[in-house]
Every structure is written in structure tokens, then in C-alpha cells.
Structure 1
């Protein structure tokens, strides 16, 4: 569907060549508040694994000097809210890149900011003759029970080698919600950031690992974000609707006819948590008039989809800049 960028640094170089090295230039009072909070001891910044490479590139381009860790949207959300065991304390981050929205209920000061669109895809090897799958068959393939906990007749019988993201992943949350799944089949292998199998040596994230596994194993199927696409694998159509740019953009304008596993990608924030200097630099750069196109270019070069062709970050919300375009406003 799109060409996925192979090297993170190239995105940063592209962005810096487009906007220069001035970093953030049009910060608001909110963006550049003087209150300062440290992140982890080495500036660790947690959030979506799907967005990990894009956020590394954005940190480089903005000179934010964040130590982007990924680990999953659930970890990033915890770092903004009540903490995430083994990673961060409560309120340690004011920003969290996430491949899903905040979970309800919204907390005071939280804002859901859509920055791009994506497709959660079921990837198979290009040698597989399958090109389309129904939501019902996806549910039977991956889940033993549905979202209500009821056993799914005929489920978990496929001989395909199945891969999934871990339970801290926003991609897993989205997949379960949109497919209507509950408990996964016991034969589905979990791929987690920070604990990649030997077959994924050299890969930078769980998302890229699933891309490699489906590209190299003719019997494999795995779900992941769109940036897992690479030579050797193919994203299936779902319910006869292809994960094309046009069909994913309908997520914002015509959900009934959108690709069924379309989703927004977020740079979610707490406006009440004290934000670190590093976060303030990134946020001011990403949303400044001078640099937001460069930020969007990084996202697109990673294989994600711009919300609108007429301008950067036009992803809805009161000012059509994506801020407050999701659950929390």
C-alpha cells in the first residue's frame, strides 16, 4: 500500500533538511511552560511501539533529546496517569504517543490528539493465496471467545502460524475491539517490544518483527500496524474492503464505508501534568506552523497516512489540528 521507511535516521535528516535546525519556533505559553519535570533517569519516554521509530525521528529532528522506548500504548498511558510498573511513576509524562485513544473515562486535563491514520492489518506471506478475510473469520482465527466471553464455535483450529502484539499494545486493544474478540487462542505467539525472538534479530520493534515473521514464513499470519508492511508480506482486505489510503481516510469522514480496522494515531497529552523540557520541545516543534509539515512527513515516511491532503495534521478537532479530536477534549 505504501513504502515503509527502512531507516529512522533518514526521516530525521529529511525533516531537518526541510525546516532547518532551529527546532521549535512558535511555542505557546502552554507549550513552553516554565515548570519542569524530569522523565526517567535517562530521559526515557514511553508509548506506542507502532509509533516508536517515528517518535525517534521526531525527537532527532526537533532536538528534543528524548530516549524513546516504545513498550506499548498501555505503558505510555500509565506514565501519564497512575504509573506503569517497571517503567514509570504516576504523572511522569505529560505526553504519550499512542496507537489508540485514551481509555475512558478521561481524567482532568487530558486531551486526545490525532496526528495520523493507520490500518491494523492482518499480514500474510505473499505466497499465500488468501487476499480477503471477514471479521468473523479473523475472530475465529485468533480468539477462543468473543468480547462477551462466549466461546466461538470452530475457533482456534487453523494450522497457520499466528502472531500477535502483547496486551500492553494499543494495536492489540484496537484489534480486539474492532474484531470483537475476547480470550486469544492458546496457539497465538505473542511478540512484545523488548523481548523479540531470535528470528527478529536486528529489528527495532515488535511491529517490525511481525512484519519480518510474516514476510519470511509462508505459513504465517499476524496482525500489526501498517508500518509492518515490507517486501514479502501482504495486508489482507477485510470484509472486501482494502486497507488503501482512501479507505482508511474514511475513518474520519465515512466510518460505515471505511476499512474495518482503520484507526487514529495519537500524541495524547495531559495539560495538567508538569511536562519535561524534552516534551515541551517536541510538542512545540510538532505543532508549530514552521515544522508541523516536517512532523507529518516523518509519519508518512514511516508508512502512516496523513489525515488530509490539503495541510499537515488536519485531523479534526475544534481547530482542525487534531487536538481534542478523540475521546478526551
Structure 2
């Protein structure tokens, strides 16, 4: 699986999309045409930390001029809905990159747009002899209680140094749901976007920080999106199934045999919230016939998995462009 880090300079991004057309070529501008919503005072745009670097690159390529902040899928969802304390007011955004789907119930105008697939991986240092782990053992390592609140037998006894994303993270929501976890063990170290530890100096996100920590600590284990992979760490197989492209793509076609921690990634939207001109530009560029392959290339270069190798953004939904392919249609 590809784990290339995207170089986020305007020059590099511009070179990657030469000949792909402008932001509006072939695009349909969706959402309210007359109402224009301001983002934060500096065009702050919140959402998934996992997708942060990819959305920065897409903003550069499309000239959307968004100030991409990450902070977590929970923050992005809040910015679409009722606001997120310390970050945004209610309905401040009309788009939000998210590494999980909307939380039910869907609200009027919400649409779940799948843009790629990903593996939530349990990363260990390359020197660790462990190669496979069960969902049961992951639950014992990370969680004191299960999803029903019952104590996990034999839990919290591992001597590994454990790292996790914070509670605003869609990756944490996904991991807890798929592993069946409830309350984390008290010794699990929380890595939050925006407050990275000194050991992660130079890293751009909590996702990349967990990649660095597991690559440099022989005793470490941490869960994160696949883009945390790098020289020095290694993703474990889970229940004997590797996080390969083929096994993750089964998430859409054969879930029973997919990698157990597979997930979809989203550019979720509210079609009723007023959207900023910056969001309009990004959306038009990403879904235009001229540029959606460039958008998918950005995602794949970040280590994410194209839904279908036969064409860009073929992620299901009524028009097989990923729009409405999740919970909210």
C-alpha cells in the first residue's frame, strides 16, 4: 500500500495539476447560490486530522485559499451542526473532511460523500517481532471497558507504550467501534492535533506524530490512519488479514472478508448551510470532470486507497461519485 508523504508547497502542487483545468471546469456548483457564509476570521476550515495534509494540498491545487486546521472529525461535524467550542460557531461550514461518517440521525440537507478508503492500523516499531494481533487483544491493550461498559478481562496489563488519538478524532470513533472498546486504559498517551509533544517537533498532524512515535520507540504501539506509516514502523495484520489495498477495498464490496479496521473517508456536506466562496471553489474543483482525478491523486499520494481503480471517486452513491454513499443521502 502506498504511503508517500505529500509535499505541501504551492509549486509542487501546481506542477501536479498542470493541464487539469481551473477550479470550475466542468463542475456543478452545489448549495445555496445567493447566501455566502464567512468561515473563521482567517478562513479557518476544520475537520479530520487524518485528511488534513490532503485537504491542504487540494486547497492549494484548487486555489480555494482555505486555512486548513484539522483538529478532528468531531470538530468538523460540529462546524456543520451546532458549533464546536473554541473552534467554530453553528453552521459555520458547509463542508467538512471527516474520517468517519456523520453521527446519526442525519439532519436536513446533510450528505455523506465518500472520497477514499483507509485502514486504521495498529502500528508497532519495525523491531517488534509481533506481526499479527486479534481484535480481542487490541481491546485488552487499549481499553479498560468494552463498548457496553463491562470490564475487559485481562486489560491494561501490557507493558507496551500506547498512543492514541484524542476524543475529537474520527479515527478514535472508528477504532472504538470496530474494536468494541469503551473507556481507555489510564496509561494510554493521548496525541492531540495542535498540542503535539516535543518528540514530534516538525510533524504536521497528530496522525504523523503517532507515526513518528511508533517508528522511534521500540516498545511503542499506536493506532492511526494508514498515512502514519513510515520507515521504522509497521502495521500489524488483524485477525490474520493484512491492510492491503485489496482487503481494504472489500469494505465496499465484501465487508465480511475485509481488513477488520477498514473505513471510508468523507468530504461531508450540508446542502442547506450557506457556504463560503472558498468552500465552493474546493468543492467545484474536487468534483469537476477535469480535476477529480487530480483530487484522487492527492488522496492516493497521502497513502489513502482509491475506491475503484477504473476511475476517480467511484465510491458508490446514486451517481457512483461517492456523493450520498454513506449514512446521509
TM-score, normalised via structure 1 length: 0.98
Match in the other structure for 1:154: 154
C-alpha separation between the residues in 2 aligned to 1:145 and 1:270?
35
1:18/1:169 Cα in 2 relative to 1: closer, same or farther (>3 Å)?
farther
* Aligned-residue offset at 1:73: 0.1
* Aligned-residue offset at 1:14: 4.5
Q: Does structure 2 retain, via aligned residues, the 8 Å contact 1:11–1:57?
A: no
1:18/1:151 Cα in 2 relative to 1: closer, same or farther (>3 Å)?
farther
C-alpha separation between the residues in 2 aligned to 1:37 and 1:316?
29
What is the SS of the residue equivalent to 1:256?
A: helix
Please give the root-mean-square deviation of Cα atoms over the aligned residues, in Å: 1.2
What is the SS of the residue equivalent to 2:17?
A: helix
Match in the other structure for 1:16: 17
C-alpha separation between the residues in 1 aligned to 2:2 and 2:63?
28
C-alpha separation between the residues in 2 aligned to 1:104 and 1:28?
28
1:69-84, aligned counterparts within 5 Å? 69-84=69-84
C-alpha separation between the residues in 2 aligned to 1:258 and 1:11?
35
* Aligned-residue offset at 1:84: 0.2
C-alpha separation between the residues in 1 aligned to 2:294 and 2:307?
14
Q: Does structure 1 retain, via aligned residues, the 8 Å contact 2:31–2:274?
A: no
Match in the other structure for 2:37: 37
* Aligned-residue offset at 1:34: 3.2
* Aligned-residue offset at 1:119: 0.3
What is the SS of the residue equivalent to 1:17?
A: coil
1:1-329, aligned counterparts within 5 Å? 1-9=1-9, 12-20=13-21, 22-30=22-30, 33-329=33-329
Q: Does structure 2 retain, via aligned residues, the 8 Å contact 1:81–1:90?
A: yes
Q: Does structure 1 retain, via aligned residues, the 8 Å contact 2:307–2:315?
A: yes
C-alpha separation between the residues in 2 aligned to 1:315 and 1:168?
25
1:183/1:166 Cα in 2 relative to 1: closer, same or farther (>3 Å)?
same
**Unaligned 5+ residue runs, structure 2?**
none
C-alpha separation between the residues in 2 aligned to 1:273 and 1:74?
18
What is the SS of the residue equivalent to 1:120?
A: strand
* Aligned-residue offset at 1:19: 1.3
1:79-118 per-position Cα deviation (integer Å, ceiling 9, x unaligned): 0000000000000000000000000000000000000000
Q: Does structure 2 retain, via aligned residues, the 8 Å contact 1:113–1:326?
A: yes
C-alpha separation between the residues in 2 aligned to 1:218 and 1:114?
35
1:8-62 per-position Cα deviation (integer Å, ceiling 9, x unaligned): 2376235422515x22222325257232110000000000000000000000000
Q: Does structure 2 retain, via aligned residues, the 8 Å contact 1:55–1:68?
A: yes
Matched positions, count: 328
C-alpha separation between the residues in 2 aligned to 1:32 and 1:240?
48
C-alpha separation between the residues in 2 aligned to 1:18 and 1:171?
35
Moved over 4 A (4+): none
C-alpha separation between the residues in 2 aligned to 1:75 and 1:206?
15
C-alpha separation between the residues in 2 aligned to 1:314 and 1:14?
25
1:317/1:73 Cα in 2 relative to 1: closer, same or farther (>3 Å)?
same
1:246/1:37 Cα in 2 relative to 1: closer, same or farther (>3 Å)?
same
Q: Does structure 2 retain, via aligned residues, the 8 Å contact 1:32–1:280?
A: no
1:261/1:7 Cα in 2 relative to 1: closer, same or farther (>3 Å)?
same
Q: Which moved more, 1:3-12 or 1:72-81?
A: 3-12
What is the SS of the residue equivalent to 1:290?
A: coil
Q: Does structure 2 retain, via aligned residues, the 8 Å contact 1:46–1:70?
A: yes
